[in-house]
Chains A and B, each alone.
Chain A
């Protein structure tokens, strides 16, 4: 690339070089520069740059589509590392008939219970859940409901299911189960890939 004369770098007689056009593009074309905006050649170069930028993104997406399979060995290596790092959370004490024994249940285990209880309700997927308190626990669950599912009925069913599961499988005293519906999904929803 020649850099010795300004004439060589100048685009369409605008007085601007490609490097300056690059900067202009990256600054969102603000503040507007008339000499660039009114110059057909500059506009063509800017349009090409934008086009090749978007084609580059397309190229990466195409690479991904062309190679959709992840190596199973690679995946199992990854999942082995991940399951080693269990998100147990804090220990929550359970009552015990033997005063010498201290029983606890991890927050992670309770979350697992809550998720499976909530998911068992038709048209419901559990998102986040939190457990606060030790003796009297308050549970907060966010859910997504399938489009067309009556929201109030679904939320109430989740509340009941979670409450029942906690009573049955833990000795926690559950003071309340708060259910928030913060999403609606459709059955063909493959996720937000935007």
Chain B
């Protein structure tokens, strides 16, 4: 029996494009945790992240033939996840329960930052306390690596708004992280 769990991303993506669902399931298990973590950071909700990643993977399965460079399958999957995640963000009602839980996070932010054991934990607290729009821009820019134009399009806003949010997010991160040190 061929052990596909040792196969490279490129081989698995090629086989998946040809309809090998077993190969696709290996890709899902290999990259699913990362995709879910990325979507959770972006949407601020693990329930939304689960839905978003599932939708994205179903789309990916149907479109794998169009993937030009199979070895880049993870970043390709990440871009589909970010599209699905931003669709969901745009579709959200302006006020939801999520906002309350986030306001709570924002209040706890400085406290958590103060007791953070590591720089990563401190950054985690600072990012959690950012206003939603700023956090989304930060994640899309710093983790997703998207341009201002792409982020503006995804969040249905202007480049000027994205630039402003990102600058404010960066100002907060730099200042707060200085305090932690």
Contact = CB atoms under 8 A, between A and B. Distances in A.
Interface of A: 1, 17-19, 22-23, 26, 45, 48-49, 52-53, 55-65, 67-71, 74-75, 77-79, 81-83, 85-89, 108, 111-112, 115, 119, 125-129, 142, 144, 183, 185, 187-193
A77 B54 contact: yes
Interface string B20-62: 1100110011101110111011000000001000100110011
A81 B2 CA distance: 25
Interface string B109-151: 0000000000110011001000000000011011100011000
Contacts of A1: 168, 171
Contact of A78 (B28, B138, B173): B28
B33 A81 contact: no
Contacts, number: 165
User: Chain B interface secondary structure, helix, strand, loop or mixed?
Assistant: helix
B17 A128 contact: yes
A18 B169 CA distance: 11
Interface residues of B, number: 61
A64 B18 contact: no
A129 B18 contact: yes
A23 B37 contact: no
A75 B20 contact: no
B170 interface: yes
B174 interface: yes
A108 B143 contact: no
- Interchain residue pairs A-B with the least CB separation, the first 10: A87-B19, A63-B37, A19-B167, A127-B14, A64-B33, A53-B142, A119-B2, A64-B34, A64-B37, A128-B14
Interface of B: 2, 4-12, 14-15, 17-21, 24-25, 28-30, 32-34, 36-38, 40-41, 50, 54, 57-58, 61-62, 70-71, 74, 119-120, 123-124, 127, 138-139, 141-143, 147-148, 163-164, 166-168, 170-171, 173-174, 177
A87 B29 contact: no
A62 B9 contact: no
16 contacts: A1-B168, A52-B177, A55-B120, A70-B32, A74-B50, A78-B54, A82-B58, A83-B21, A85-B58, A87-B18, A125-B2, A125-B11, A128-B14, A128-B17, A144-B11, A185-B6
Contact of B123 (A45, A52, A68, A192): A52
Nearest to A62: B120
A65 B139 CA distance: 18
Nearest to A48: B174
B117 to A, nearest CB: 13
Nearest to B173: A52
Given A18-B171, A48-B174, A55-B123, A144 B32 contact: no
Contact of B20 (A48, A62, A115): A115
